[in-house]
């Protein structure tokens, strides 16, 4: 039987504040995919217009954010599930490109939140990664915490704010939490719009900024201790990386710190006992299953001074650069970057 390469669309870019991070992650992933096994179709999503463009240029131009300037063909999804692909124009004729699967490397809103996954589902194209429901659930901090807390896993005390809340209602909600507290958009990634608030005086500005990123805002208590994470790969059979630990010298792990590490450090393996690391892994797997994750995700938690584990969030499409937490946790468990990508592509037969 003649071997046929599987055709995979890799999506990058997107209408998100995390657009640049997506470009760097996608560049690393694309370089690591074995093109002897897979035919790649690179689909860039323009940041401002949301157009889907089939990119055929040099990979470095994706990393450097100049990919859209040339070698691009506009495409649009076909909802005919027999075609399971997209349409494009060539020499005045309507053409179809069928796909065996799609690999979204999109961070934040309009990509990691179930929107693109829903379109791919309507197209009849299998998604390499978490599905629509899981992606939307994990992006929503309020709903993810509700599901996890219902299973008996600790979460931070929280209060929900909406645009109609009065200033008095906001102050009262913050008083119930206690200072310091965190103000967060409910549906945003990479710490955009998040602030640590130490007093009532700082509260209005932080809430206003959070509302710039979402129509729902969450107030959360500060969990004393430090953040730990667990990389998980698989759907039925799961593989975990080594637990990592974020060491902060000041503030919190905001967008700048995540991508520069100016005043913080990441330790992998975490500086904790083997027994506690195993407990964290088991908790992460439980959360992964509860929220319906598949293929891959990073589960973030807090470890208190008393050794208590609190759920923070799940990143369904974590960073995929060589310096990102997800691949580094799996690297510490013995997997190279190329092996991680190969295993993700092999989670389910394409």
97: pLDDT strictly greater than 80: yes
87: pLDDT strictly greater than 80: yes
Query: pLDDT averaged over the chain?
Result: 93
- The band of 344, judged by pLDDT with boundaries at 50, 70 and 90, is very high
187: pLDDT strictly greater than 90: no
Q: What is the per-residue pLDDT for 2?
A: 58
Is position 36 annotated as part of the catalytic site?
no
DSSP designation for 339: H
CA 144 to chain centre: 14
1: pLDDT strictly greater than 70: no
Determine whether 201 is exposed, middle or buried from the number of CB atoms within 10 Å of its CB (0-12, 13-18, 19+).
Answer: exposed
* C-beta separation of 108 from 16 below 8 A: yes
350: pLDDT strictly greater than 60: no
pLDDT in tens, 21-71: 999 999 999 999 999 999 999 999 999 999 999 999 999 999 999 999 889
257: pLDDT strictly greater than 80: no
Q: Which domains are seen in the chain, by residue range?
A: 6-128 (3.40.50.20), 137-155+223-345 (3.30.470.20), 158-221 (3.30.1490.20)
Beta bridge partners of 8: 40, 101
Q: What is the per-residue pLDDT for 202?
A: 96
Q: What is the per-residue pLDDT for 254?
A: 45
Q: How far, CA to CA in Å, does 10 sit from each of 80, 85, 258, 274? A: 20, 13, 24, 37
Determine whether 225 is exposed, middle or buried from the number of CB atoms within 10 Å of its CB (0-12, 13-18, 19+).
Answer: middle
Determine whether 209 is exposed, middle or buried from the number of CB atoms within 10 Å of its CB (0-12, 13-18, 19+).
Answer: middle
Two structure tokens written together for 267: 């330790």
Q: What is the per-residue pLDDT for 189?
A: 66
Beta bridge partners of 136: none
Task: State the average pLDDT over residues 155-169.
Answer: 95
- The band of 349, judged by pLDDT with boundaries at 50, 70 and 90, is low
Is position 324 annotated as part of the catalytic site?
yes
261: pLDDT strictly greater than 70: no
- The band of 259, judged by pLDDT with boundaries at 50, 70 and 90, is very low
- Choosing from 16, 18, 32, 257, which is the catalytic residue? 18
Q: What percent of the chain has pLDDT over 70?
A: 93
Query: From CA 331, how far away is CA 337, in angstroms rounded?
Result: 7
Query: From CA 125, how far away is CA 132, in angstroms rounded?
Result: 12
Peptide bond into 180 cis (omega under 30): yes
Query: From CA 25, how far away is CA 107, in angstroms rounded?
Result: 9
Residues in the chain: 350
- Outline where DSSP puts E strands in 92-185: 93-98, 101-104, 154-155, 158-162, 181-185
Task: State the average pLDDT over residues 13-26.
Answer: 94
DSSP track, 127-196: BSS--HHHHHHHH-HHHHHHHHHHTT-EE--EEEEETT--HHHHHHHHHHH-SSEEEEESS--TTTT-EE
- Choosing from 28, 32, 190, 294, which is the catalytic residue? 190
pLDDT in tens, 265-278: 899 999 999 999 99
Two structure tokens written together for 50: 């949301």
Beta bridge partners of 301: 228, 311
Task: State the average pLDDT over residues 116-135.
Answer: 97
Query: Which range among 109-113, 129-133, 231-235, 250-254 shows the weakest confidence by mean pLDDT?
Result: 250-254
What are the helix and strand counts (H, E) for the chain?
Answer: 11, 18
- The band of 260, judged by pLDDT with boundaries at 50, 70 and 90, is very low
333 CB-side CA count, 13 A: 21
Packing angle of the helix pair 115-123, 132-139 (nearest 10 deg):
170
- H or E segment to which residue 196 belongs: strand 195-197
- The band of 323, judged by pLDDT with boundaries at 50, 70 and 90, is confident
- Predicted TM-score (pTM) of the model is 0.92
Q: What is the per-residue pLDDT for 161?
A: 96
Q: What is the per-residue pLDDT for 253?
A: 47
- The band of 263, judged by pLDDT with boundaries at 50, 70 and 90, is low
Q: Which residues contact 285 (CB under 8 A, 6 or more apart)?
A: 230, 232, 238, 240
Q: Which residues contact 83 (CB under 8 A, 6 or more apart)?
A: 96, 98, 124
Q: What is the per-residue pLDDT for 152?
A: 98
């Amino acid at each position: 039987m003649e071997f046929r390469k599987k055709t995979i669309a890799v999506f990058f870019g997107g209408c998100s504040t995390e657009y640049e991070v997506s470009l760097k992650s996608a560049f690393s992933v694309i370089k690591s995919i074995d093109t002897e096994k897979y035919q790649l179709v690179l689909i860039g999503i323009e940041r401002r217009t949301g157009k889907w463009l089939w990119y055929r240029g040099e990979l470095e131009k994706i990393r450097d954010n100049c990919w859209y300037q040339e070698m691009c063909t506009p495409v649009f999804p076909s909802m005919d599930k027999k075609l399971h692909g997209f349409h494009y124009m060539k020499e005045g004729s309507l053409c179809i490109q069928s796909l065996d699967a799609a690999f979204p490397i999109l961070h934040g809103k309009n990509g990691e939140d179930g929107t693109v996954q829903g379109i791919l589902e309507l197209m009849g194209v299998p998604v390499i990664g978490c599905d629509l429901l899981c992606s939307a659930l994990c992006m929503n901090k309020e709903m993810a915490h509700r599901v996890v807390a219902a299973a008996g896993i600790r979460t931070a005390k929280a209060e929900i704010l909406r645009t109609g809340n009065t200033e008095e209602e906001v102050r009262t909600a913050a008083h119930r939490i206690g200072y310091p507290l965190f103000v967060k958009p409910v549906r945003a990634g990479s710490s955009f719009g998040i602030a640590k608030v130490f007093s009532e005086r700082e509260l209005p500005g932080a809430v206003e900024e959070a509302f710039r990123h979402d129509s729902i805002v969450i107030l959360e208590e500060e969990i004393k201790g430090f953040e730990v994470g667990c990389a998980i790969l698989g759907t039925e059979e799961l593989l975990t990386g080594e637990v990592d630990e974020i060491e902060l010298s000041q503030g919190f792990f905001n967008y700048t710190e995540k991508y520069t590490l100016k005043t913080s450090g990441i330790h992998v393996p975490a500086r904790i006992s083997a027994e506690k690391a195993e407990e964290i892994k088991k908790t992460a797997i439980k959360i992964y299953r509860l929220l319906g994750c598949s293929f891959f995700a990073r589960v973030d938690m807090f470890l208190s001074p008393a050794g208590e584990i609190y759920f923070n969030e799940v990143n369904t499409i974590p960073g995929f650069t060589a310096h990102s937490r997800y691949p580094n946790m799996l690297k510490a468990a013995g997997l190279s970057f190329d092996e991680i990508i190969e295993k993700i592509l092999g989670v389910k037969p394409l």
